Amino acid sequence: MQAFDAKLARLIDDMIETMYEADGVGLAATQVDVHLRLLVMDTSEARDQPQVLINPELVAHSEEWKLNEEGCLSVPTIYDQVERYAWVTVRATGRDGEPFEFKAEGLAAVCVQHEMDHLLGKVFVEYLSPLKRERIKTKMIKKARDEQGRRGR
C-alpha cells in the first residue's frame, strides 16, 4: 500500500521535472531507480498537463494494433517501430490518492503502454528483432567506449 505523503509528492514533482527537462513524454519510477509502480506522462501539445499514474492497470484494449516510432530516455539515440494496442483503458490512482480510469488513444496510448512496460522492467527494444537488438547493443557498447576514451584523454 502506497502512502500518499509529502515524500511521494516530492518524488512525483521530481519525476515530472526530469521528464520535462529530458523532453520526454513519459517517465517511470523504475527509470530513476525507484521501485514503485508509478509513472508520469504528458502527451499534451503545450506540455502543461502532467498525468500521474500509481499502480496502473490495463482494463481494456483495442483489437487493433498500431505501429509507432518509439524512443526512450533509457536507450538514448535509439528509435524504432513498435506495435502496440491502438487504444487502451487504464485504471490507476492519482497523486491525490483517488482512483480514476481513462482511455488513451494516439500518442497517449503509445506512451502509457511504453511506461507500463518499464514498471515490469521491460524496455521497448525488447520487441525488436534479434538482429536489430544486436545492432543496438553494438552501438551502445561503441558509444560507451567512445565516452570512456574521451574521459581518459
At a CB cut-off of 8 Å and minimum separation 6, what does 139 contact? Answer: 77, 78
Q: Does 119 bind Ni ion (CB under 5 A)?
A: no
The torsion angles phi and psi of 49, rounded to 5 degrees, stand at -130, 70
Pick the closer one to Ni ion by CB: 8 or 75: 75
Q: Nearest distance from residue 71's CB to Ni ion, in Å?
A: 8
Q: Which of 45, 57, 69, 115 is catalytic?
A: 115
Pick the closer one to Ni ion by CB: 15 or 101: 15
Q: Nearest distance from residue 149's CB to Ni ion, in Å?
A: 27
Q: Can you say whether the dihedral through the CA atoms of 102, 106, 108, 111 is positive or negative?
A: positive
User: 90 with 110: CB under 8 angstroms?
Assistant: no
Pick the closer one to Ni ion by CB: 143 or 145: 143
Q: Which residues lie across from 51 on neighbouring strands?
A: 41
Q: Nearest distance from residue 98's CB to Ni ion, in Å?
A: 26
Pick the closer one to Ni ion by CB: 4 or 66: 66
Residue 105 catalytic? no
Buried b (16+ CB within 10 A) or exposed e, 65-103: eeebebebbebeebebebebbbbbbbebbebeeeeeeee
Query: Binding mask 52-91 vs Ni ion (x if CB under 5 A, - otherwise)?
Result: --------------------x-------------------
Q: Which residue is nearest to Ni ion (CB)?
A: 72
Q: Does 109 bind Ni ion (CB under 5 A)?
A: no
Q: Nearest distance from residue 27's CB to Ni ion, in Å?
A: 8
Task: Provide the grid cell at 71.
Answer: 524512443
> What are the residues binding Ni ion (CB under 5 A)?
72
Active-site positions read 115
